[in-house]
Chain A
Amino acid sequence: MALIEIENLSVTYRSKGRSVTAVESVSLGVEARQSFGLVGESGSGKSTILRAICGLAPVTGGTIRIGGDLVPTPRGRAFSARVQMVFQDPYASLHPRHTLDRTLSEPLAIHGIGQTDARVMQALDDVGLPQSFRFRYPHQLSGGQRQRVAIARALMLRPEILLLDEPTSALDASVQAETLNLLNRLRTERGLTFLMVSHDLAVIDHMCDRILVMQNGRAVEELSRQDLASAKMKTDYARSLFSASADRMLEP
């Protein structure tokens, strides 16, 4: 049984009499400790799936199960302790007027977990930030450092599942490499399950075992990592994404 099971998920936004279907009956399953990637152009609904899992998007059809159980609405504390999300833009996802210490200790306070001091220090260590950063504000950090804080925050409650929404698209190439390495190391150390969204096929290929290609809110094709590397996609759309990938330029 898969850890994350999504069946026929549909998400429709309604406002002022108009409705937009962002996701239309998409099904996917992610095994425990697996890393699953969602790719597609903007507006294909890949981020909406992550938001729907967290209860941040209006689900209009289908089911979401974590570990076999339907997710409750509202999601509640037990869900937060199992599933956490890292957002795309570290400039926008951290509270500008909270120090790192406050950002990192808030989940502990909400969940009534003690040893705040030790846990915050440990969290900074885990993501490779100096402990002297503890009382800094987000604006005093670089983009890569901020994304490390966002990852540390997501890991404060020791979740099993991390939902990663374009975690490196706002970062420079060298900082992207450091962040991807950090995520991979944490996944091995803690046995995490990743569900990751990116528009960069090379990043998805580096991070994920299986890949779902999406277009206009629908699933187009599911590929294994081997299929992608050997260009064995069956649909034209997946092929066009593959050939438009900037990475192709490096092929001899």
Chain B
Amino acid sequence: MTLLSVRNLKVSFDTETGVVEAVRGVSFDLGRERLGIVGESGSGKTMTGRSVLRLIRPPGRIEADEMRFDGVDLMGASETQMRALRGRRIAMVMQDPKYSLNPVMKVGAQLMEGLRQRDGLTRAAAHIKAVEALEAVQIRDPERVMLAYPHELSGGMGQRVMIAMMLIPNPDLLIADEPTSALDVTVQAEVLAILDGLVRDRGMGLIFISHDLRLVARFCDRVLVMYRGKIVEELAARDLLHARHPYTQGLLNCLPRIGGPRQPLPGLDRSADWAV
């Protein structure tokens, strides 16, 4: 079943020096699965994720032939309709907990805000739900974390708090924009296991945006590789080592490997036709 379908998505910005096209005609379908979007900085992967929630401010413009989520036309929806979707049906985990949590509000208050405003829960009921949400992302001492300010948490804890917050309304689609880039390998593995469990148990759709090809391949079912606003290759994650597109191959080859040869790492060749 298709949860989200996107046809010919374009994102452009009017600047003093002319129009900058950040996304140039992206199309994909998503079921209840884990879809990875990989690319370097500036490839348009984050803009693609944000467009789904129409979270691009002027002078940015979103155009698409079609963008449909579970029967709702996202391009034609009013701002009120979009607000009803955001958070409740489609949630987004941002890259950096340092910048995405409110620094002057305790974690507990931030978690409970949505529950009280949106769901109209009492303070006590919201508290119970918030603690449950923290437990679901394997925070060991949720009562202490509820009373902490974001700067008192480590990066991994902050990231888990954000995931917990996004999962409280039980969304159908989660867009995770580099959710683990700021984390260590060991914490990264934990956060991925949490996301993995949620996709499996709740049947949620997941768009996982990352610049790390190896990570995406290990974690997702399907991978879209983006370069300069376009999808250059789409493939099943297990076939990644047999990627055909020179850009995907280049991205793979330029990563050092344990026990690999000591020669200089191959750079990316950007002179070919596809790179223009």
A interface residues with partner B (beta carbon < 8 Å): 41-43, 143, 172-178, 180-181, 184-185, 199-203, 205-207, 228-230, 240-242, 244-250
Contact = CB atoms under 8 A, between A and B. Distances in A.
Given A42-B155, A206-B256, A174 B185 contact: no
A43 B262 CA distance: 30
A249 B185 contact: no
A174 B40 contact: yes
A43 B187 CA distance: 12
Contact of A247 (B154, B250, B258): B258
22 contacts: A41-B185, A43-B154, A173-B254, A174-B40, A174-B250, A174-B254, A177-B254, A180-B256, A180-B265, A184-B264, A199-B185, A201-B258, A202-B256, A206-B256, A228-B259, A230-B259, A241-B185, A246-B185, A247-B257, A249-B215, A250-B214, A250-B257
B254 A202 contact: no
Given A206-B265, A241-B185, A244-B189, A172 B211 contact: yes
B176 interface: no
Contacts of B185: 41, 199-201, 241, 244-246
Contacts of B186: 41, 240-241, 244
B218 A206 contact: no
Interface string B215-257: 1011000000000000000000000010000000011101111
Contacts of A143: 41
Nearest to A225: B259
Given A241-B186, A246-B185, A249-B217, A205 B260 contact: yes
B212 A205 contact: no
B72 interface: no
B259 A176 contact: no
A248 B189 CA distance: 13
Given A177-B254, A246-B214, A247-B256, 13 more contacts: A143-B41, A172-B40, A173-B255, A174-B268, A177-B268, A202-B258, A206-B265, A207-B256, A229-B258, A229-B259, A241-B185, A246-B215, A250-B252
A244 B188 contact: yes
B218 A173 contact: no
A176 B254 contact: yes
B254 to A, nearest CB: 4
A247 B255 contact: yes
B256 A205 contact: yes
Contact of B154 (A42, A177, A181): A42
Contact of A174 (B212, B257, B267): B267
A203 B256 contact: yes
Interface residues of B, number: 34
B218 A174 contact: no
Contacts of B218: 246, 249
Contacts of A184: 264
Interface in B52-100: none
Nearest to B254: A177
A172 B265 CA distance: 14
A42 B218 CA distance: 23
A184 B261 CA distance: 13
Contacts of B252: 250
Contacts of A244: 185-186, 188-189
Contacts of B29: none
Contact of B258 (A172, A177, A205): A205
B187 to A, nearest CB: 7
A184 to B, nearest CB: 7
A42 B259 contact: no
Nearest to B156: A42
Determine which residue in A241, A244, A250 has the highest number of CB atoms from chain B within 10 A of its CB, and name it: A250
Contact of B184 (A42, A181, A247): A42
Contact of B264 (A176, A181, A246): A181
B265 A228 contact: no
Interface in B128-186: 154-155, 184-186
B47 interface: no
A247 B241 CA distance: 12
Contacts of B256: 177, 180, 202-203, 205-207, 247
A29 to B, nearest CB: 22
Nearest to A174: B268
Contacts of B264: 181, 184-185
B204 interface: no
B120 interface: no
